[in-house]
Chain A
């Protein structure tokens, strides 16, 4: 008796009745193909097979060098075999008749963001069935997923992890004395563990975070234990900058978002970018330059940067805005900047952004949305109201980048466990970039994040990371639909990584979104969204 599956085509029925309204269940996906990572409706197998046959005939009969042509095509959603085949059919059918010499074009020199794709059909392929990902196999239960990459060599490494877990567990059960004594033991054990990589590297920071939590136990949530975890805005900005330089995560985020924004702004003369966290505006010079070189000329670009109010009467936002304006002027892009100072994103109201109906709006959120998930039982979660007003702006695109981690689970021990593996992987990747001088401060940046996840509670705990699957659900429920980032964005992101000349980073495509990870563990996820037309805003 084995665990052989039934040879049926409908094995992958969607188990998720889904919170969305009306009764019709999504048509059943072929369960076996779902297990292989593909979405094909059982009822459509024959159609898809026919299209594959057609594609094959076109490929065989085409005199062209298929690999060259096809690789210039931008591919979207490879999991949906039917639409992937269609994209290629469109591409090949329209070029099969070109004279041969036009097909011998050399590879264009790479200029990130300007590598205009040659798709003859510039449409976005939108996920056909927003619930389709629920009908995937149980293997893809991402909410409960626990992805671990480990290299525990020695016994002391294993013991250390064991003690960390026991300590976290006793904390959770309120046994502070036991937790405290474990802290001491762990600090002793740390001396015997290889602290240059893996668990050993990050254990020290977790021991530290746990001890802060224990010894400030009476003050959890009141902010005093969290004072280390949330520094001043200017401190944060400095650390952020070093983190930006030391490893590719933020660059990947900016790069991928800019690519998507650039494409969304195609054909628009008035565009408005709303940045949820301006910081030093590191993301925008590249976009400004790309818009400057746009065929047909740059649009009028407005940038609204949101950030915390600056102390000492300075206006940091305005200063950044001025620098960006200077850059824009130097490349002949008409540019206007507006700063919106708010200590919390939920304090921002849409009227402050002064969006005009004529402009194409891009909302850009790099690791900000998770901060809105803090639960205050007395009111509607901030995330709801913010997503509602974003949607009311009817943005052409909303780019969202978030940590790919489950750090907002209700149980402390679960969050702790997940964080231990997430951050050890992240520290590993940082270690590999060891030539960068920014590494030390970048580590402190990450350490503060760890501290917030582990030590803080209530409104002080801002780092409430949730995985892509959860964001998909949330955003879909809030009336957004996914825009797929295609193979071009994937390629650009992969090429960006080669600049870091470090082996081990990996870019992956995940149902239209891109993730960047280290050693097969995704650490950061980028996605793009727009308002779904059918949704009725209450």
Chain B
């Protein structure tokens, strides 16, 4: 192997709180066991190891959740998180899909991470994150349980994301009072961030309005090896080798990493000039080896005249948003809140 076999564990331990280090390292090791060299994936063990939580229609910390079947054909489920009104401790079943009463209510369609292969909408880490987003943004969150690789390659995840957007935009109970429209924001981390971009493209092409995209440490790549990949390989939980594995698992067989799914502004990418693409907030962690690709993405949007805000967090690692006990969490959540609220006070 090209990279150094000395695992720089001490370095990663110094930049994150200990419990976060334990959490992310645990994922790293578990995921090592699940990826087979022949490209197959130990799904049974993955599901066994994944910590899941059920939906809970009783409010906990002001948020309740329930699962919906968005598409029976593909068994596509999504978990909906709503803020509880007032001090209610028990939500009447009938009120799960009660129409929203706010003048303007952001509806966040959330795509969890996991490099297209891991995690689910009901994974504990993502259930927790979505609940936080409800509280912080005063939004409804719809977390999509999209189909995963390698069993379901491109474009399944995008198809599922698109199905969810169509479903959400057609729910009358999610419409803001002000304009009888659903105010949709797409938010995702890692592979979820990648899905956000591609689903937004479909929305634009089909005329469904998406008000904004938020990409947290999005998964992008390309055939060349960027500087950041070479510099940070293996240093902060992630290796080039494992990234390559996930692209081989997701992309159509025989395709390389310049496929537009992986490299939207690469040689096979689409030109976004003149398109009514939603405004974007791109969050990049300075210790993520993919940062050069993520920065290239933000630049690509900028060059195409799109509205993009880049948030570069020098000392952040992958997964920093999973636990709140680090210095990056609050500022990022503040930015997210402002991003989805900016149309609230327009007269």
List residues of A whose CB falls within 8 A of some B CB.
Answer: 2-5, 7-9, 30, 32-33, 35-38, 40, 45-46, 48-49, 52-53, 55-57, 59-61, 65-68, 70-71, 75, 78-79, 81, 85, 88, 138-141, 144-152, 158, 161-162, 165, 197, 417, 420-421, 487, 490-491, 494-495, 503-504, 506-509, 519-522
Assess whether A494 is in contact with B44, with CB atoms less than 8 Å apart.
yes
Determine which of B7, B66, B323 lies in contact with A148 in the assembled complex, contact meaning CB atoms within 8 Å.
B66
- Tell me the residues in window 211-256 of chain B with beta carbons closer than 8 Å to chain A beta carbons: none
Given contacts A7-B17, A139-B60, A148-B57, contact A165 B329 (CB under 8 A): no
Bound: A306/B260 CA distance, A = 64
Given contacts A55-B29, A491-B45, A519-B67, contact A139 B52 (CB under 8 A): no
How far, in Å, is B194 (CB) from chain A's closest CB?
Answer: 23
Assess whether A71 is in contact with B47, with CB atoms less than 8 Å apart.
no
Most chain A beta carbons < 10 A, residue from B29, B32, B68, B91: B29
Assess whether A145 is in contact with B54, with CB atoms less than 8 Å apart.
yes
**Residue of A at shortest CB range from B33?**
A70
Bound: A150/B173 CA distance, A = 15
Contacts of B52 in A (CB 8 A): 37, 508
Contacts of B23 in A (CB 8 A): 33, 36, 38
Contacts of A495 in B (CB 8 A): 44
- B180 is an interface residue with CB less than 8 A from chain A: no
Bound: A520/B56 CA distance, A = 12
Determine which of A61, A66, A503 lies in contact with B33 in the assembled complex, contact meaning CB atoms within 8 Å.
A66
**Residue of A at shortest CB range from B69?**
A151
**Residue of B at shortest CB range from A8?**
B325
**Residue of A at shortest CB range from B67?**
A149
How far, in Å, is B267 (CB) from chain A's closest CB?
Answer: 33
Contacts of B330 in A (CB 8 A): 2, 4
How far, in Å, is A115 (CB) from chain B's closest CB?
Answer: 12
Q: Mind listing 8 A-B residue pairs with CB under 8 Å?
A: A32-B323, A53-B9, A65-B37, A140-B53, A141-B58, A158-B97, A165-B93, A509-B48
- B55 is an interface residue with CB less than 8 A from chain A: yes
- B102 is an interface residue with CB less than 8 A from chain A: no
Contacts of B57 in A (CB 8 A): 146-148
Q: Which 3 A-B pairs have the closest CB atoms?
A: A37-B51, A7-B325, A37-B124
Assess whether B51 is in contact with A30, with CB atoms less than 8 Å apart.
no
Assess whether A145 is in contact with B5, with CB atoms less than 8 Å apart.
no
Contacts of B69 in A (CB 8 A): 149-151, 519
- Tell me the residues in window 62-93 of chain B with beta carbons closer than 8 Å to chain A beta carbons: 62, 66-69, 72, 75, 77, 79, 91-93
How far, in Å, is B88 (CB) from chain A's closest CB?
Answer: 13
Assess whether B5 is in contact with A150, with CB atoms less than 8 Å apart.
no
Given contacts A3-B135, A67-B37, contact A52 B49 (CB under 8 A): no
Assess whether B93 is in contact with A37, with CB atoms less than 8 Å apart.
no
List residues of B whose CB falls within 8 A of some A CB.
Answer: 5, 7, 9, 13, 17-23, 25-26, 28-30, 32-37, 42, 44-45, 47-49, 51-58, 60-62, 66-69, 72, 75, 77, 79, 91-94, 96-97, 122-125, 127-128, 131-132, 135-136, 145, 322-326, 329-330, 333, 337
How far, in Å, is A405 (CB) from chain B's closest CB?
Answer: 12
Assess whether B18 is in contact with A148, with CB atoms less than 8 Å apart.
no
How far, in Å, is A3 (CB) from chain B's closest CB?
Answer: 4
Given contacts A52-B29, A145-B58, contact A33 B48 (CB under 8 A): no
**Residue of A at shortest CB range from B125?**
A36
Contacts of B49 in A (CB 8 A): 75, 78, 487, 509
Contacts A56-B25, A151-B69, A519-B67 aside, 13 further interface pairs with beta carbons under 8 A come to A7-B17, A35-B128, A36-B23, A52-B29, A53-B9, A81-B22, A145-B56, A148-B55, A149-B55, A149-B67, A165-B94, A491-B48, A520-B77
Bound: A79/B49 CA distance, A = 8
Assess whether A161 is in contact with B51, with CB atoms less than 8 Å apart.
no
Assess whether B26 is in contact with A5, with CB atoms less than 8 Å apart.
no
Contacts of A504 in B (CB 8 A): 75
Contacts of A420 in B (CB 8 A): 93
Contacts of A162 in B (CB 8 A): 94
Contacts of A57 in B (CB 8 A): 7
Most chain A beta carbons < 10 A, residue from B28, B54, B92, B135: B54
Assess whether B22 is in contact with A49, with CB atoms less than 8 Å apart.
yes
Assess whether B53 is in contact with A48, with CB atoms less than 8 Å apart.
no
Given contacts A2-B333, A165-B94, A520-B122, contact A67 B66 (CB under 8 A): no
How far, in Å, is B172 (CB) from chain A's closest CB?
Answer: 10
Bound: A13/B36 CA distance, A = 39
Given contacts A147-B54, A147-B55, A150-B68, contact A508 B19 (CB under 8 A): no
Assess whether A75 is in contact with B22, with CB atoms less than 8 Å apart.
no
Bound: A273/B324 CA distance, A = 50
Assess whether B94 is in contact with A522, with CB atoms less than 8 Å apart.
no
Assess whether A507 is in contact with B47, with CB atoms less than 8 Å apart.
yes
Assess whether A56 is in contact with B9, with CB atoms less than 8 Å apart.
yes
Assess whether B35 is in contact with A67, with CB atoms less than 8 Å apart.
yes
Assess whether B333 is in contact with A139, with CB atoms less than 8 Å apart.
no
Bound: A259/B53 CA distance, A = 26
Assess whether B68 is in contact with A503, with CB atoms less than 8 Å apart.
no
**Residue of A at shortest CB range from B40?**
A67
Assess whether B56 is in contact with A48, with CB atoms less than 8 Å apart.
no
Assess whether A36 is in contact with B51, with CB atoms less than 8 Å apart.
yes
Assess whether B324 is in contact with A5, with CB atoms less than 8 Å apart.
yes
Determine which of B94, B124, B125 lies in contact with A158 in the assembled complex, contact meaning CB atoms within 8 Å.
B94
Assess whether B325 is in contact with A78, with CB atoms less than 8 Å apart.
no
Contacts of B45 in A (CB 8 A): 71, 75, 487, 491
Bound: A462/B326 CA distance, A = 52
Assess whether B66 is in contact with A149, with CB atoms less than 8 Å apart.
yes
Contacts of B21 in A (CB 8 A): 49
Bound: A187/B131 CA distance, A = 39
**Residue of B at shortest CB range from A49?**
B22
Contacts of B75 in A (CB 8 A): 503-504, 519
Assess whether B324 is in contact with A4, with CB atoms less than 8 Å apart.
yes
Contacts of A52 in B (CB 8 A): 22, 25-26, 29
Given contacts A49-B13, A158-B97, contact A33 B19 (CB under 8 A): yes
Assess whether A67 is in contact with B36, with CB atoms less than 8 Å apart.
yes
Given contacts A71-B42, A79-B51, contact A150 B56 (CB under 8 A): no
Given contacts A2-B330, A145-B58, A421-B93, contact A49 B324 (CB under 8 A): no
Bound: A85/B30 CA distance, A = 9
Assess whether A36 is in contact with B60, with CB atoms less than 8 Å apart.
no
Assess whether B56 is in contact with A147, with CB atoms less than 8 Å apart.
yes
Assess whether A494 is in contact with B47, with CB atoms less than 8 Å apart.
yes
**Residue of A at shortest CB range from B21?**
A49
**Residue of A at shortest CB range from B124?**
A37
Bound: A420/B93 CA distance, A = 10
Contacts of A85 in B (CB 8 A): 26, 29
Assess whether A150 is in contact with B51, with CB atoms less than 8 Å apart.
no
Contacts of A7 in B (CB 8 A): 17, 324-326
**Residue of B at shortest CB range from A505?**
B75
Assess whether B77 is in contact with A45, with CB atoms less than 8 Å apart.
no
**Residue of B at shortest CB range from A52?**
B25
Contacts of B67 in A (CB 8 A): 147-150, 519-521
Assess whether B325 is in contact with A36, with CB atoms less than 8 Å apart.
no
Assess whether A3 is in contact with B7, with CB atoms less than 8 Å apart.
no
How far, in Å, is A392 (CB) from chain B's closest CB?
Answer: 34
Assess whether B124 is in contact with A67, with CB atoms less than 8 Å apart.
no
**Residue of B at shortest CB range from A522?**
B54
Assess whether B32 is in contact with A67, with CB atoms less than 8 Å apart.
yes
Contacts of B337 in A (CB 8 A): 2
Assess whether A67 is in contact with B34, with CB atoms less than 8 Å apart.
yes
Contacts of B91 in A (CB 8 A): 146
Bound: A491/B67 CA distance, A = 25
**Residue of A at shortest CB range from B131?**
A139
Given contacts A151-B68, A519-B75, contact A161 B93 (CB under 8 A): yes
Assess whether A138 is in contact with B61, with CB atoms less than 8 Å apart.
yes
**Residue of A at shortest CB range from B97?**
A152
Bound: A507/B25 CA distance, A = 25
How far, in Å, is B1 (CB) from chain A's closest CB?
Answer: 10
